[in-house]
Every structure is written in structure tokens, then in C-alpha cells.
Structure 1
């Protein structure tokens, strides 16, 4: 009962952190606020939540990785695949080897495999935290897409490296050639299982919906279960459940292209997943804060074992590790950009060092780092405590906090005045063309439906008039769309659409206010009011989405 109460209190902490962050006059990373609230919960209530690493890994990572794979723009991944792979794979492996060896030299009491495990877990980046930090600063979209793609792939590569490091710690042996072959098998098997699970489940779901109808709640529940099924199935067959969850998410985005799901299902499912993502991300950081007092105590003992007696050495370790990570990332990004420029024979950005500095500062650590480090085993195979576990967790937490602080300060400074980054290709012409094609298809469908509905009816003129009114709206959209030979017509059409959108929003909000007024004065039933208000909400979401 106490555990359930503590978890509920932590969820309240997530809500409070979201409110407090909006009240602050200056931008502050939300994860830092959540860590502070978690620490306050831990110290005030003197509560400690005992974590089973395997259960923690299962509950938090599959849905988060699945959602990242589902929602990330695939065209951005393919366009900048070279840069993304260099950061997500090359940089991760260099970080594990270089920073891992450096950590062992810095802290000799931390065994080499544990140092490699710590380096593996601090290698993944978290663009969600960076986008929250840079909410008031214009971040080039192409840069954000690269960071998102890097994060999606380096989550998987970093956590797979963590798995090997933990295995080396538990068994005391590590052979590079065997590990390389095992990595390839784990990766290929995990990806194949993730794709297969999503394909099979969505096929069964589509067949059932066509034959017996679609239940929105069931469809949402299926989407929630897919990452867990993929993860557990892959782990049961001794493949990478992490990559299975990522592959399942990417596959989900392609299976959804059929558009067979009901509109209400898609809207409600999006709301559920947004809530789940917000809750899990927030809960992880609040949980870190709650665990911090105990972690600091355990880590201090490890530091004393190294011959140091002052807690300041913990802070020094965190700062030095962050500097090593930053220096390595800056050099790797700079070299990757130079290589890309040389290969494409393109012109280098006027401020290459600033682009590299922004991408270095943007490499803040977050949810995946924390979730991964908390999965370090509690005990070795012989029953003894896992060496330097508390110290590894504390150093990882310190890296997260320092990297978030550096990003919150450095990103606005480095992005001031803009950044010389190649712009993403414009999509407005593509959007306009798609709208025209869709409008013409809609007119044809309306005319066909009108003929079918009015055939043989005495009041056929009503159907003709109604179809004419609706088709006129689509014809107006086509007529006001800019043509290539009309200079300035495109801008005029866009401006007219924006004016029309603002007027529609004003009307919709007035409608909703009136529904609420009628409900308050008992002139409209609650069930009827809820239905009408939902209709207005859906239309407003369409206009503002």
C-alpha cells in the first residue's frame, strides 16, 4: 500500500512540476524541476521505492522507444542518414570505449566493465529536453530532425552496449569478435521481430475491424500493448527487445498509412499516447529525485574507498566526465560535418564551429540515460552487491543535470542571431497541390453520393441544393489556390485562408461559450451539451492543429 501511495504522490509531483515551470519568469528545463520535486518527496516523506531493474526497464523503455519510432519524421531520417548514423552509431561506440576507459582511469575503484556500462548509458541524447529548453529560441528544423534521428537510434545502440557491459561485469569475460557477432545477431533479430509483431497485430486488427466493426477503446489498447509484446517476444528469443520496440514503432507509422482507423480512434489514441509520454518521462525524473538521497550516501562510500574523503569529489567527477563527453562530441560532430561537406563538394557553413557547438550543447542526456542506469543489477551472480552501482547511478544523474543546465544556458546564447544551417526543402507547393487534388476528389464523391441518395425521391432538389452548398466550399478552395503564372496569388490565397481560419475560430469559441451558458442555466441537458461541445472541440482542433 505504501508503494502505491508513493507512486501516486510522484504522479502529483509530475503535475505540480508542469504547473511550476509555467509560473517561472525565466525558462527552466522541466526535468530539473521534476528532479527537485522528487528529492523533496524523498526527504520530506523519508520514502524509498525499491526498484527491480528488469521491471523498471520493461515498464518505461518499450513504450517510450516505440513512440519515438512511430512519430519521428522518416523523410528527415533518410535525407540526413549519413550524419545521423555517424552520431547514433559511430559516436556511441567511440564514447563507450573512450569515455569508459577515461572513467576507469579517473575512478580506479570502478571496474572497467562497470565504467563501460556507465559510458554506454550516458551516450544516448534526449532531444525532448532540448526542444523544451529551446522553446523560446528558433531552432532550425533540420537540426532538430538530425537530433531526433540521432536520439532514436543512439537510444538503441547505447542500451545494447549497456547490455554487453553488464554481461561482461557479471561473467568477468568479454571477447570483441564474439560481442560484434552477437551485436549483429541481436540487432537483426530484434528489428525483424519488431516489424513482424506490428505487421501481424495490425493485420489481425484490420481484418477484425472490417468484419465486426471498430471499437475505439480496443484499438487504443492494442497500440499500447504492441511495444510490450515486441519487447518481451524478442527478449524471450534472446534478441534485442530495445531494437524490437523501436522497429515496432517505425513499422506502426507505415501500417497506419492505410488510413483505415476511425478519425475518433486516431484522436483519442493520440491523446492517450501524449498523456503516457508526459507521465512516464516525468515519473522517471521524479523517481530519480526520490532516489537521490540514498544514491548519494552509497556513492559517497565508494568515493571514500578511492582514498578521497570529501563529497566535493563527486561533483568534480561529474564535471570532468561532462567535459570529456562534450569535447569528444564536439570533435566528432566537427569531423562529421567536414567529411559530409567534402563528400558532397558543398560549401562549408560560415560558422562551422558554432554549428558543432550547438549540436554539442544540444546533446543533453535525459530519460533513456536515467532509465538505463537504474536497470543496473543489484547483485552479481554470486550474490555479492553489484560493484559501484550507486556511484554509477549518481554520476549518470549528475551528467543529466549538468548537461540540461548547460543546454538551457548555452542553446539560447549560441542560437542568438540564427544559425547557418541548410534549410529544409519547402513543402508549401506540395501541400497546396495535395489540397487541390483532395478537393476535386471530394467534389466527385459529393456528386456521386448526391445522385445515389436522391435517385427516385420526390425531394431530390433538397439533395441537389445541399450537395451544391458543400461542393461550393471545395470549389472556393480550388479557385483561391495560387497558380504558378499568377505572381503574388499564392501569398494572397494563404492570407485569405488565415483570415478565414481566425474567423472560424472566433465563431467556434462563441458557439462553445454559448453551449456552456445554456448548460449552466439548465436550458440544455448535460449529455446533449457534451456532444455539442465535443463537436466544436474537434472542429477547433482541426483549425489549430
Structure 2
């Protein structure tokens, strides 16, 4: 009962945090609000939350990584694959090695293997956290795609590096050859399991749906179970469950291209996954705030063992680690961007980019978040001989400090750096979208003509089918005419579309209000009202 009550309190805190952010007159990072609420909860009540690392890892990481892989734009991922891999793999290794030695030198009570583990777990970035900061700041779309792709892959690479560092801390030995071989098995096996589990499940699901019909609730539940299945199977076979979850998400996006599901299933499933993502990310940060008092107490004891008796040294350590992270990220991003521009200019491409501002934006956008916290909380509680894991509380506190300070730095610095940067309009993507809409409308007209002829064949009221078909096809012809115009005419048509959208939304809301009035006056029953309102809501979602 106490566990259920604690979970409910955490979820309520997540809901309150969202309201606080929306009510704030300025851009307030949601994770910071959630951490503050968690600390407030800890100051007034002891929820008794005792985190088991393996359970914490299993509950939060698979669905979050799966959803990142599922929703990330694949075209941008492959287009900028070189830049993304440089950041997601090269920068992670660079950070682990460089920052690991710095942490061990600065805090001798943290063994080198644990220092590498800490450096590895704070290397992944969190696009959810940075998107909450950039929501009111224009950011180049391509830069955002690179950050998303980096965070998707560096989650896996950083946490896999942490796994090797923890193993070295527990056993006291490390072999580069053995680690390299194990890494290949862990990585390739995890990816293969993620792809295989998703493909098999989707194929079986489609076969069953074709024979027995589709049930929306079951389809949604299957999508929720896939990341956990891939993760658990990979971990059982001693592969990377993290990579399995990421690969499962990417495979899911390709499996969905076939359009096997009903529209209502996709709409409801998307709403469920949005809720899962919001709740999981939020609970992680609220837990961080709730755990802070105990973490600080344990870390203070470790600091005293280093010979520094003042708690201020905790802040010094956190600040130094953040400066080190920023410096390493800035240097790597600067060199990477320079090489990219050099290669492009050799091919004849002209670049006019403010390299210092873009590099600074890349550095500030390296915000740490949920994955860092989830990873550091999975550090073992004890060594193999039962003794406490060295400097565990201090490592958790340092990681938490990095999360908080990186959020503050990004929320203040990123808007300043991006201010005045012209975000070019995505003409090519808009043209592609228009072409796709025209092709879809043309295919719809052909399908309507065929269906109209089939339905009217041999009937006396064929004129009714012809009239109905003409009315429906006219809507598609208007769409084609609106997309197949000159740039000036297309811009004017978009303004008309926006006006029409606002008028349609006003009409839909009036419809819904009228249905609710009819329900309150008992002119229609609740079931009928829900059905009509559902139809209105789906239409409004399309225009809204």
C-alpha cells in the first residue's frame, strides 16, 4: 500500500509541474521544476522510496529509448549520420577517458574505474530536456535533428561504457581485447535482438489481426510490451538491453510504414505513448529531487574522507565537472564542424554559418537528463564481497548536479546564443510535402472513381452515386489546385488555409458545445454523445 501511495504522489507531482511551467511568464525548464517538487516532497514527508537499480533501469529506460528510436526522423538520421556518429561514439569515448582521469585526479576517493563509470553515465544528452528549453527559442531544424540523433545513440554507447567500467570496478581487472570482443557481442547481439523481436511480434500481430480482426486495446498493449521484451531477452543473453530497445524502436517505425493498423488505433496509441513518455520522464526527475537529501548526506561523508571538511567542495566538484564537460564538447564539436565544412567546400559547396555560435549552441544543448539519472542510479549497492560500492552516493550527487547545472546553463545561455540566428525556411521539405499531398489526392480521386462505378453498377439510382462521388472528388481537386501553384499563389493559398482552419475549429467547438448541451438537457444519451464528440475530436485534431 505504501508503494502505491508513493507512486501516486510522484505522478501528482508530475501533473503539478506541468501546470507550473505553463503558468510561468518565462521559459522554465520542466525538469528543474520537477526536481524542486521532489525536494519539496522530501522536506515534508518520507515516501520511503528505496530504489533497486535493476528494477529502476527496467521500468524507465526501455520505453523511453524505444520511443526515441520510434519517433526520430529517419531521413535526418541518415543524412547527418557522420556528424551524429562522431558525437554519439567519438565524443562519448573522448569524454569517458578525458573526464574519467580528471575526476579521479580531483577526487582521489573515487577509484579510477568508478570515475570512468561516472564519466560514461554523464556523457549521454537528453533531447527532451533541451526541447523544453528551446520551445520558445528558434533553433535550426537540422541542428535539432543532429541533437536528437546524437542522444539516441549516445544513450546506448554511454551506458554500455558504464557497464564495462562497473564490471572493472567490481572485479578489479580490465582487458582491452576482452572488452572489445565483448563490446561487439553486446552491441551486435543487442541490435539483432531488438530488430528480431519487433519484426516477429509485428508479423504475428498482423496475421492475427487479418484473421480475427483488430482490437485497439490489444494493439496498444503489444506496443508497450515490445521494448520490455527486447530488453529482457537481450539482458538474459548478456547483450545490450539498451541497444535492443533502441533497435526495436527504429524497427517499429519501419514496420508501421505498411499502414496495417486502423486509424483509431494509431490515434489512441499515440496518446498512450505520449502519456507514458511524459509520466516516465517526470517521475525520474521527481525521484531525483526526493532522493537529494539522502544523496547529499552520503556524499558529504565521502567528501570528508577526501580531507575536505566543507560541503562547499561538493559545489566545486560539480562546477569543475560541468566546465570539463563543456570544454570537451566544445572542442569536439568545433573540430567536427570544421572538418564537415572543409569536406563540403572541397565538393564546391558554399557555407555561411556562424561557426562559433553554432558550436556554442551545440555545447550548451548538451543537456543531461533522464537517461543520466536512470543510469547513475543503477550503480551497484555493494561490491562482490558485500562491502558498499565505493563513492556511490557521491557519484549520484555529482551526476545530479551535472543534470541541474546543465539545465540552468542551457536555459540561460542557449536563448542568448541562438538569438538573432536566422532559421532558414525549409523550402525543400515543404515542396516534398506538397508533392506527397498532391500524389495522395490523385490516388484518392482514382480510388473514389473506381468505388463509385462498382457501387453504382446495375442500380437504378446511379445518379446519386455520381453526385456523391463528384462532391468528394471536388475536395481532393481543390487540394491539388492549392498545392500545384506558383510560390506567391501557394503562399496566398496557405493564408486562406489558415483562415479556413480557424473557421473550421470554431465550428467544431460550437458543435461539441451543442452536443454537451443536448446531453445536459437529456435530449441524447451519454453513449451517443461520446460517439459524436469522438468524431468531432478526431476532426479537430486534424485541423488543430
2:413 counterpart residue number: 410
2:370 counterpart residue number: 367
DSSP-derived class of the 2:225 partner: helix
DSSP-derived class of the 2:82 partner: helix
Matched, 1:358 2:361: yes
Alignment of 1:304-319 (within 5 A): 304-319=304-319
Alignment of 1:127-526 (within 5 A): 127-345=127-345, 346-347=349-350, 349-418=352-421, 426-483=428-485, 486=486, 488-526=488-526
DSSP-derived class of the 2:411 partner: helix
User: Per-residue CA shift, 1:253-301, capped at 9, x if unaligned?
Assistant: 0000000100001000000000000000000000011111110110000
User: What RMSD over aligned residues (CA atoms) do the two structures have, in Å?
Assistant: 1.4
1:528 counterpart residue number: 528
How many angstroms does 1:354 deviate by? 1.2
Kindly tell me: are residues 481 and 21 of structure 1, through their superposed partners in 2, closer, same or farther at Cα, counting changes over 3 Å? closer
Instruction: Output the CA distance in 2 between the equivalents of 1:30 and 1:255.
Output: 33
Number of aligned residues: 541
Alignment of 1:43-192 (within 5 A): 43-192=43-192
Instruction: Output the CA distance in 2 between the equivalents of 1:104 and 1:48.
Output: 33
Structure 2: gaps of 5 or more residues: none
User: Per-residue CA shift, 1:193-221, capped at 9, x if unaligned?
Assistant: 11011110000001111111100000000
Write out the 4+ residue segments of structure 1 that deviate beyond 6 Å after TM superposition: none
How many angstroms does 1:496 deviate by? 2.8
DSSP-derived class of the 1:173 partner: coil
DSSP-derived class of the 1:427 partner: helix
Kindly tell me: are residues 300 and 442 of structure 1, through their superposed partners in 2, closer, same or farther at Cα, counting changes over 3 Å? same
Q: In terms of mean alpha carbon deviation, does 227-236 or 436-445 score higher?
A: 436-445
Kindly tell me: are residues 360 and 534 of structure 1, through their superposed partners in 2, closer, same or farther at Cα, counting changes over 3 Å? same
User: Per-residue CA shift, 1:296-343, capped at 9, x if unaligned?
Assistant: 110000000000111100011000000000011000000000111112
Instruction: Output the CA distance in 2 between the equivalents of 1:389 and 1:425.
Output: 51
Q: 8 Å contact 1:482–1:489 — kept in the other structure?
A: no
Instruction: Output the CA distance in 2 between the equivalents of 1:22 and 1:496.
Output: 30
DSSP-derived class of the 1:323 partner: helix
Kindly tell me: are residues 194 and 407 of structure 1, through their superposed partners in 2, closer, same or farther at Cα, counting changes over 3 Å? same
Instruction: Output the CA distance in 1 between the equivalents of 2:409 and 2:482.
Output: 48
Instruction: Output the CA distance in 1 between the equivalents of 2:91 and 2:483.
Output: 47
Q: In terms of mean alpha carbon deviation, does 428-437 or 96-105 score higher?
A: 428-437
DSSP-derived class of the 1:98 partner: helix
Structure 1: gaps of 5 or more residues: none
Q: In terms of mean alpha carbon deviation, does 335-344 or 275-284 score higher?
A: 335-344
Matched, 1:25 2:25: yes
User: Per-residue CA shift, 1:106-142, capped at 9, x if unaligned?
Assistant: 0001011110000000000011111111111111111
Q: In terms of mean alpha carbon deviation, does 508-517 or 399-408 score higher?
A: 508-517
How many angstroms does 1:350 deviate by? 4.6
How many angstroms does 1:528 deviate by? 0.7
Q: 8 Å contact 1:302–1:388 — kept in the other structure?
A: yes
Instruction: Output the CA distance in 1 between the equivalents of 2:112 and 2:487.
Output: 67
How many angstroms does 1:426 deviate by? 2.0
Instruction: Output the CA distance in 2 between the equivalents of 1:69 and 1:105.
Output: 37
Instruction: Output the CA distance in 2 between the equivalents of 1:182 and 1:277.
Output: 31
User: Per-residue CA shift, 1:19-76, capped at 9, x if unaligned?
Assistant: 1111222221111110111111112112331111011101100000000000000111
How many angstroms does 1:477 deviate by? 1.9
Instruction: Output the CA distance in 2 between the equivalents of 1:30 and 1:40.
Output: 15
Q: 8 Å contact 1:142–1:424 — kept in the other structure?
A: no
Kindly tell me: are residues 454 and 41 of structure 1, through their superposed partners in 2, closer, same or farther at Cα, counting changes over 3 Å? same
DSSP-derived class of the 2:47 partner: coil
How many angstroms does 1:487 deviate by? 6.1
Kindly tell me: are residues 80 and 407 of structure 1, through their superposed partners in 2, closer, same or farther at Cα, counting changes over 3 Å? same
DSSP-derived class of the 1:205 partner: helix
Instruction: Output the CA distance in 2 between the equivalents of 1:462 and 1:334.
Output: 67
How many angstroms does 1:499 deviate by? 2.6
Instruction: Output the CA distance in 2 between the equivalents of 1:303 and 1:7.
Output: 32
How many angstroms does 1:479 deviate by? 2.9
How many angstroms does 1:422 deviate by? 7.7
How many angstroms does 1:462 deviate by? 1.8
Instruction: Output the CA distance in 2 between the equivalents of 1:479 and 1:351.
Output: 40
DSSP-derived class of the 1:46 partner: coil
How many angstroms does 1:378 deviate by? 0.5
How many angstroms does 1:441 deviate by? 1.5
Instruction: Output the CA distance in 1 between the equivalents of 2:465 and 2:320.
Output: 75
Instruction: Output the CA distance in 1 between the equivalents of 2:455 and 2:351.
Output: 63
Instruction: Output the CA distance in 1 between the equivalents of 2:424 and 2:531.
Output: 47
Q: In terms of mean alpha carbon deviation, does 471-480 or 356-365 score higher?
A: 471-480
Instruction: Output the CA distance in 2 between the equivalents of 1:494 and 1:50.
Output: 55
Instruction: Output the CA distance in 2 between the equivalents of 1:21 and 1:494.
Output: 32
